[in-house]
Structures are given as structure tokens and as C-alpha cells.
Amino acid sequence: MQHQINILNEISQLLHNEANCQYEGLNCIFEIEDAQEETMDTTFKYTLGGVSKNVGISDSAIWSLLDLVLELHALMKAHTGGSWTKFTLSLDKAGKATTKFEYPDKS
């Protein structure tokens, strides 16, 4: 479990650095398209001055984030057997993180 927390902390730090401002909040959605092919889609937004800004992630950070998110996915799958497809990480202005994991419907 500590390894998962360390990965989440690394992801949070990378996103904080990407915003590079005194944001009021930020969130990033990671949607795994294919874990075997190591592909994912990201949506990165932060709020500054009451305005939501949808921004891209730099090339230097996106590869690190991809590796970390896929590692987190593999660890969680090994631990719980569940395979989430979407993960949202949010940070408030104090740096407190919240996470949401979404799993595919089994219907």
C-alpha cells in the first residue's frame, strides 16, 4: 500500500509542477485506453483566479506520468483484482489530494 501512496505523491508533484502557479485547485483525468499497449488519454485542468484552464501536459512530464499511472494500475490490479479504466486525481490549493477510480460496467 505504501508503494501506491508513493506513486500518487509522485503524480501529484508532477501535476503541481506542470501547473506552475498558485492554483485554487487542479485535476487530471487519466483514462487508460490499453494497458498492454501502454496508451492513455489525459485531461488536465486547473483553476486560477476563478477561471478553469484546460491545459496540456508537457512532453517531459507526460512520459513520467504514463509510467507512474500504468504502474499504479498494475499494483492495484495485483492487490485487489480490479482493473480500473479511469482515474481522477484532484489537488486543492493546500495540496490535499483526492482520488476517484472508475471501473467498467460488468453488465
DSSP string, 12-70: HHHHHHHH-S--SEEEEEEEEEETTTTEEEEEEEEEETTEEEEEPPPHHHHHHHHHHHH
Distances (CA, A) of 106 to 64, 79, 82, 87: 31, 19, 11, 18
Judge whether residue 83 has pLDDT over 80: yes
**Tell me, what's the pLDDT at 45?**
97
Round the average pLDDT of the chain to a whole number and report it: 92
User: Which region among 21-30, 37-46, 84-93 has the lowest average model confidence (pLDDT)?
Assistant: 37-46
CATH code that applies to domain 2-102 = 3.30.500.20
**Tell me, what's the pLDDT at 107?**
57
- How confident is the model over 32-77, as pLDDT tens digits? 887 676 778 999 999 999 999 999 999 989 999 999 999 999 999 9
Question: Using CA of residue 88, residue 89, residue 92, residue 93, what is the dihedral sign?
Answer: negative
pLDDT bin (cut points 50, 70, 90) of residue 22 is very high
pLDDT bin (cut points 50, 70, 90) of residue 1 is confident
Residue whose C-alpha cell reads 482493473 in the numeric block = 83
What are the residue boundaries of the structural domains of the chain, listed by start? 2-102
Q: Is 96 exposed, middle or buried (0-12, 13-18, 19+ CB in 10 A)?
A: exposed
